Structure 1
Amino acid sequence: MKRRTPPDSPGLFPDLPLVPDFSLESRAKRRGSWPVAGTDEAGRGPLAGPVVAAAVILDPKRIPEGLNDSKKLSASQREALYQVILREATVSIASSSPRRIDLIDIRKASLDAMRRAVAGLDQEARHVLADGRDVPPGLICAGEAVVKGDARSVSIAAASIVAKVMRDRMMVRAGLVYPDYGFEVHAGYGTDRHRSAIVTHGPCPLHRMSFRPLKAEAPEEADIIQN
């Protein structure tokens, strides 16, 4: 597994791309907080579909090669790593529906899905590394927010891959149920094709009615965040 090496001339190098490693997990383990779960979500930005979260506890002796932020991997790489992660790690998946997103907002729905993913692990976590700036409320143990966590922690990177692959599979199935929208192609993001289909056919039950351009009144900026 690749590890980051600090430059010998700090301050003189531009920002380098991060490669996730096991440092944060090891630090928690040294403090007696083990096992450590990484958690991340996929699907905050789309106009339709659920937000999906995953929680992963990796075996330190069997960390899959090639773990990285899911957005930096190809679809085939994600699919291959997804299979390895399910085989080698403890994994749990949870989601928040479009209806729940509209009811409590996308941020709260994402954090709640992450909390439920952690709670669903077969092995109880003693410490949680959560991607982003927020610790999911209501965790069963201590949590730590890790900005750009999917590029820093292999556990979070693994969770990002699982969440992304699962959500993509769900949206392929959504395309079969609602064939007019092309969900299997754009996964619910606001592409020209998707927006045109909404104009032509109107929204379906998978659309997030609190998101522009779907909500009837939008006095403030929409919470559409590409992820």
Structure 2
Amino acid sequence: MVVGLLPHPRGFNALIKWAAFIAALLVFPSVARANAELGIGVVKVEFDDKTVIHFYESPKSNSPTRTIRFFNDTSINSWNIVNLDGVQEWFRPESLWLDYHSFVMRVRSKRPGWIQVIVDNTTGKSFWVKSGRIMKFVTWDGFLKNMFSIERAKKFPQAIRAQPQVSSPAVKFRGKDCFNIITMRGDWIHVRQANHCERSQRDKNFRSGWIRWRWDNKLRIDYFITS
């Protein structure tokens, strides 16, 4: 993912704080994503500077184990999280881009009134959160179809296939991966080059093909929420 344009912090101390903030929180490595189990989908959190999220060990817990509180941080001209250093010790979600108002966690399971979310994509640790208007559950199909672009993960090289099966002939592709999803079928996605891809990096002879987005309950592609 690419961070893009971010607000300018004021002062040297704020600059250091902002740089650490970006490195540690805004961009989560694709390796961490690839190591985590997929679950049944994701929850998109519609947060603002007053949002408070309580995390529980189980739906039967009387009090939360962890809590995240957002606030308006004037030192960096952006929203931030109270006790950020402490939160980073246990919280490594699917993605959290404060400037783009994008906060996503993988979902392990659901039950009436509750959602089990993966809070650490490197260890698979999960907590329960109460479902509500700010917690929007989306299947992987619905989530990935709305991405800015899709790429084959470099850690999991694979050929583009003519049909959604490993035995299908490989499709020649000499461009740079920058795909949109046409449709999904099981572990496979039918892709074409996105209209916004740079012309110099496109393969004019490529029309479409199939790649695996999921295998062994792991994500085998990289997705990009924005450019």
**Which of the five TM-score ranges fits, normalised by the shorter chain?**
under 0.3
Higher helix fraction (1 or 2): 1
TM-score by length of 1: 0.26
Larger strand fraction of residues: 2
With a CA cutoff of 8 Å and minimum separation of 6, indicate the structure with the bigger relative contact order. 1
Report the TM-score when normalising by structure 2: 0.26
